Structure 1
């Protein structure tokens, strides 16, 4: 799958809006907003997000990759996904 941050970020925003914010109004936060600090996603929600990422992008997320540096904002997560898709771990 060919993807970059510009194609991944909108998909993440839509998923988070619908599944965590329960809104059709879109993602009303900046892409650098912390999911945990802003109360967008709790620790259990992170696991739901991991499942979505693995299924949507066909990548495996290892336990050691479950870090805020990879999963705590749209920007961080889209960078993580595009890096994995490019074959970098």
Structure 2
């Protein structure tokens, strides 16, 4: 399973998604109410445990965590040493 599919599966299994088909790669998780501020901490814990990377406080920004594409890109940067 690739990174995007792992993230999508995590979202579907751990957060209420009214219409799974509507959860596109660029859907805002915050604006759609899929993830709230507490949910972001769950997403961070998932990223850290699943991909063995450390999410710094300064990296907990919407650009990194608000969409599936953003999370995938963030994980790829971190895995590449970024």
Higher helix fraction (1 or 2): 2
Q: TM-score, normalised by structure 1?
A: 0.84
> Which of residues 5, 15, 36 is equivalent to 2:30?
36
For structure 2, the 5+ residue unaligned runs are none
Change (3 A) 1:27 1:65: farther
For structure 1, the 5+ residue unaligned runs are 1-5
Q: TM-score, normalised by structure 2?
A: 0.91
The Cα RMSD (Å) is: 1.9
Count of residues in correspondence between the two structures: 82
4+ runs deviating over 4 angstroms = none
